[in-house]
Structure 1
């Protein structure tokens, strides 16, 4: 199918992130009165800037270069940072003057597409500057192009207003519609309305999508308020369609009823929904979007998605949308490609508008109408469906003209500025974040970036791109490399700690040990790297607890715990990885005879009390709930007091807790001395060796540990613990 990779998999263009030295951004409190955004609509400083303290440096510059004061390593690039900030402000000023401000501009869905008045009058507008003629056709007019011809304005916007019919809506609810246009060469083309809110696929005729006029008589009535913005972001990355053990596509309603309670029980406070924006090819994993305003019909109706979000809010769960603005499907009949007959309407023309590795089209972020389309798309998912934020896919591909292909990002700051940067795309991301954070103070935006772009998660008024979080994409690569290429006894404790802490402190990072990328066919999850075929033969509690399964379960818990506690200011888990899902993820496609065998998540394995998967699930639940109680994710960075290569022991403190890890494959330690700053009596609040987590129960969790006032490993006190091989414990002072 056009617009899809032939094997149905999404390929990441960006290379593996390389560890590189970046300065710690000091915590500062901003003199907010000294900065304005340059827009009358957005003069209020974003509250996120309040963490920058200028008591030692005076007021920050107001020209978008404050980040160069906060991070002096950026001073050589002051001109580039100022220029992109100026370009962002020029766009905002232009939109203020020509469109009445970003708030109005980003409500394009109230002007384009189908707008229905209370009396049943329907107005339809579409931007198609390359078309010579345009008509609205559908079931309602027997697909007659002469029946409803559209008129064009000076900006290439076509429109038509259709009066109600006998007191009823001009177009019946759920009837098929299209726009037909005459190209410059005189040929006729048919397209799905670009702002369609409902697109369906009729597989009985052919695998082609149809737009339908969606105007149900009863609008969804929201029942629950949005939850408060989480202090500690614990994200459960989920795909509705795979959320059942059965060999089929799961529905919104089934996810709401069956999966949301599991997520809440685990202790996650946020879900990130993938593959929601309509995509013609299921196996694209949602990354080849064809209709940006339509919620995928394969899972159910728009109202059923609204009910899912509403129920999540009732459970106190924040809901993020995996948004794909980095590229678009190259499909023509059911996508945006060659929409008005040209190759340069929504996208750059020629080679600049093609992503060869992803086989997709690239947006022209310097176009006024493309900005309206994309910014309105963000507003739409918030206003229409109640989403609380976004995870922006493919940010690396957006920000660089080379899209990250063949670029190692070795750490030189010159890689982040200059000719290799797509400034128009960076400015779009700045505008998107500025708009979202000013209109929705509790919004959450996450960037999928492997490049390490400085100031990506710094507010726009300071010269940043404005995201709240970035993904720690080097971390899962490290774990896979360790499991794939080395033995436990060769693991470098210092390198593990370095990779987990090597980030721009002052810019928030979401850590994860594995995500959907590692679950896809062609790769392996941590559980598979650890236990491989024994996941099929020895995960029963009635079978032998083999050395491979014992090691696999122990390290699975330890890897997740140390990544969670040391790796960032947020946490992410892909659906099923919390219990070591025993199968990879592979969507139905020609290469597997359209099988659903691997396009599902077997939650039934967790419920089977005779299997060990439930023990891993129980540990993940305990991990999330321990974090919820102590809040290490929103606490200052950990202090690492020990990285002992011979003993394979790591010790650090964070949020008043003491974390102790023994990665040694066969050596246990009695009365092992570890440093601790705060004196007192300590007790174990989490142990990976607990029997209910599949451990060997060698640690007495009722033990009490008393500090001795003697300096050890740079800490004022020490205490002594028993740490068996391949275990980790977390201690808290009473």
Structure 2
């Protein structure tokens, strides 16, 4: 006989909304390997009859009924002779709602390759080799370290000649080497959770505990993450608790009732994505979602979760017109249940896995996204700075002759830079849906477009905040991204594209090895203007400082005019070394510059005792380090 019931403590915590490891109790749990006995457990409180159907019982809904576990709403039972790889679903009958149908397991660890929809009995065992990485992660704090993130859509990073995608195993060879060579500290995978519509890129999720079978088994994904960790590369996963797909085999109307989603369409249907919105006020839904977040960190060793579309969770009126939304109990537009859920999930992850990051894609000025709940915040570690992205891309699209009139688009950012702990994203969202690529967004002729993109990327790396770049941007893809084809690797055979890629490698190297480039990202000591007021020349300059007071001077010329004898005040005498110049010939530039460095003159300027007379290359950034490590 096998234990058909779940322990009362688990059921209590589940119903209370505080069970964080449903994946150890629900779904298809293998309880006896000798007899291939599997315990199935599913939440379907309205159902009058629930059974498990699959390849092991000829999909007969009468063969293996599940039994209610008290008043928990959970149905559970054990079936022998269910080997790994068996397909299954839950057959659910709710006569009171006129419902009878088969549903995929909400806590399935594997799914068939879409468009097939059955759940798969799955073994999650794997021998990891990343203990050293995990130990460093637990004892460190990425918020204080350099973070340059390479955002990847696994299905279209690279393809075979027959246009099939690389598998997780194949990516473990090619992607790891490429990321290591290019110098990124992290990869961020667009959602790997199974999704029926490939063109949703994973953001229309149906399976919150199953990695996509399109690219291999769960162990294959573990192997990819393991290899990245062994190469000292962190792994962030996109996670989508803001909405879920409406496919009839999934979570929607799961037991004939609105179980996971709100019943009222003003709350339960997302008006922009035509998907279901989770009912964050329901205890069991919170247990489900918190457990999903924990699953990817616990079982797949993810180093962080980037939570998609947080704004749509926070605002009851998000994307809705007047009369299309339901106010909270105080009459406001804040989703109080979603706020409580976000605080819960960030707290549980941080408490259970120190060093793991929770990252918010939040597009409004909601206060305290990256502050702790004790400080009145949501508890995230980092937040995407969507304002920086929009302002900067709009500015770079301008003809340089007009940039002087929009100088504030760049100088405004330090006014709010310390309000949150930010990531500066140049993500997939900016290179799809007729928006063009990063390269085509830049103004000017071909040479100027490349120069502008080199300038943009150098500016991104210099501004306080962590960095994120979507695949293809590192070598200047011309075509906007499509999930149906690989990025245009052939472009690396052209010198201008290869030069841009070399610049990204050098930016990553400089960023990772020079503390002044990344320390002080989240406090006022790490940044100081040198000169922000030269709107007539469209030139910006500022210092980045490390904890020891060592500085880097970053100067940006946003016009195609070479500026000679351009004077800036500096705090040190001696030779200021030109350590990076985006106009260097090796990057595809015109090779204007300062011949390796400039001596500071005893000529006071801009409130400093010394000054430099610089040559500023066209549409370029130049970086200088002082002659000593004295404090500024």
Shared fold by TM > 0.5? yes
**Is 1:581 equivalent to 2:477 in the alignment?**
yes
* 1:362 to 2:277 alignment: yes
For the residues of structure 2 that align with 1:689 and 1:397, how far apart are their CA atoms? 42
Q: How does 1:38-437 map to 2 (within 5 A)?
A: 99=13, 105-119=19-33, 120-152=36-68, 153-162=70-79, 164=80, 170-185=81-96, 187-201=99-113, 207-215=115-123, 219-225=125-131, 226=133, 228=137, 229=140, 230=142, 231-246=145-160, 247-333=163-249, 335-342=250-257, 344-351=258-265, 352-403=267-318, 419-437=332-350
Cα deviations by residue, 1:259-285 (Å, 9 ceiling, x for unpaired): 221111111111111120111000011
What is the alpha-carbon distance in structure 2 between the residues aligned to residue 289 and residue 211 of structure 1?
14
1:80: which partner in 2? Answer: none
Classify 1:455/1:101 alpha carbon distance in 2 versus 1 (closer, same or farther; 3 Å): farther
Deviations along 1:338-385, one digit per CA (max 9) or x if unpaired, are 11111x201111211010111100001111110110010011111111
Question: Does structure 2 conserve the Cα–Cα contact (< 8 Å) formed by 1:396 and 1:404?
Answer: no
Secondary structure class of the residue paired with 1:583: coil
Aligned match of 1:26: none
Gaps of 5+ in 2: 1-8, 323-327, 546-550, 628-632
Say what the alpha-carbon RMSD is for the aligned residues. Answer: 2.4
Measured after TM superposition, the shift of residue 555 of structure 1 is 0.6
Which stretches of structure 1, 4 residues or more, deviate above 4 A after TM superposition? 95-98, 100-104, 404-407
Aligned to 1:553: 450
**SS of structure 1 residue aligned to 2:95:** coil
The structural deviation recorded for 1:618 is 0.4
Query: 2-side partners of 1:388 and 1:161: how far apart?
Result: 34
Post-superposition shift, 1:123?
A: 1.0
User: Quick check: 1:452 aligned with 2:365?
Assistant: yes
The alpha carbon displacement at 1:634 in A equals 2.7
1-side partners of 2:240 and 2:572: how far apart? 46
1: CA distance between counterparts of 2:211 and 2:12? 31
TM-score, normalised with respect to structure 2: 0.88
The 5 Å alignment of 1:563-582 reads: 563-566=460-463, 568-582=464-478
CA drift at 1:717: 2.5
| Post-superposition CA distance 1:586-628 (Å, at most 9, x none) | 34xxxxxxxx3xx32123432x2x4421111000111111111
How far, CA to CA, are the matches of 1:511 and 1:430 in structure 2?
Answer: 23
- Higher normalized contact order (CA 8 Å, seq sep 6+, divided by chain length): 1
Cα pair distance change 1:463/1:504, threshold 3 Å: farther
Change (3 A) 1:576 1:502: farther
Cα distance in structure 2, aligned partners of 1:127 and 1:585 = 40
Distance 2:536 2:402 in 1: 10
Q: CA deviation at 1:710?
A: 4.1
- Alignment CA distance shift 1:508-1:96 (3 Å): farther
Inter-partner Cα distance in structure 2 for 1:188 and 1:399? 34
In structure 2, the residue corresponding to 1:232 is in which secondary structure?
Answer: coil
Secondary structure of 1:242's counterpart equals coil
- How far apart in 2 are the matches of 1:425 and 1:715? 50
Q: Distance in 1 between matches of 2:225 and 2:387?
A: 31
**C-alpha spacing 1:159/1:100, structure 2 compared with 1 (3 Å):** closer
Deviations 1:483-502 (A, max 9, x none): 55x32111146313234334
* Pairing 1:500–2:413 present: yes
SS in 2 for 1:253: helix
In 2, Cα distance between equivalents of 1:248 and 1:573: 24
- In the alignment, does 2:616 pair up with 1:730? no
Contact 2:113 2:212 in 1 (8 A): no
Partner secondary structure for residue 56 of structure 2: helix
Bigger shift: 237-246 or 221-230? 221-230
- Match for residue 431 of structure 2? 519
Residues 159 and 166 in structure 2, CA contact (< 8 A), matched pair in contact too: no
Are residue 646 (structure 1) and residue 536 (structure 2) matched?
A: yes
For residue 299 of structure 2, give the secondary structure of its aligned residue in structure 1. Answer: helix
Aligned to 1:29: none
Deviates more, 1:520-529 or 1:615-624: 520-529
Write the distance in 1 (CA, Å) between the matches of 2:387 and 2:362: 10
SS at match of 2:567: strand
Provide the secondary structure at the position in 1 that maps to 2:87: strand
Check conservation: 2:579, 2:596, Cα contact below 8 A: no
TM-score normalized by the length of structure 1? 0.76
Which one of the candidate residues 685, 705, 711 is aligned to 2:579? Answer: 685
Question: Is 1:713 paired with 2:619?
Answer: no
User: Could you tell me which residue of structure 1 aligns to residue 489 of structure 2?
Assistant: 603
**Which residue number corresponds to residue 505 of structure 2?**
621
Q: Distance in 1 between matches of 2:567 and 2:169?
A: 53
- Measure the CA separation in 1 of the matches of 2:44 and 2:99: 15
Residue 640 of structure 1 and its aligned partner are, at CA, apart by: 1.6
Aligned mates of 2:12, 2:71 — CA distance in 1:
15
Q: Deviations over 1:172-205 (max 9, x none)?
A: 1111111101122454200011101100136xxx
* CA deviation map 1:619-678 (0-9, x unaligned): 01111111111132332442122131122211111120001111122x222221111234
State yes or no: 1:699 paired with 2:593: yes
- Say which SS state the counterpart of residue 501 (structure 1) adopts: helix
Decide whether aligned partners of structure 1 residues 503 and 418 sit closer, same or farther in structure 2, where only a CA change above 3 A counts: farther
Are 1:687 and 1:729, in contact at CA under 8 Å, matched by a contact in 2?
Answer: yes
Contact in 1 for aligned 2:15/2:72 (Cα 8 Å) = no
| Deviation of 1:208 (Å) | 3.1
Q: Look up the match of 1:537.
A: none
State the Cα distance separating 1:461 from its structure 2 match.
2.1
Q: Number of matched residues?
A: 586
Q: Distance in 2 between matches of 1:140 and 1:106?
A: 30
Decide whether aligned partners of structure 1 residues 406 and 313 sit closer, same or farther in structure 2, where only a CA change above 3 A counts.
Answer: farther
Q: Aligned partners of 1:628, 1:554: CA distance in 2, in Å?
A: 23
Contact kept? 2:272, 2:319, Cα under 8 Å: no
The verdict on how the C-alpha distance between 1:526 and 1:433 changes in structure 2, with shifts beyond 3 A counting, is same
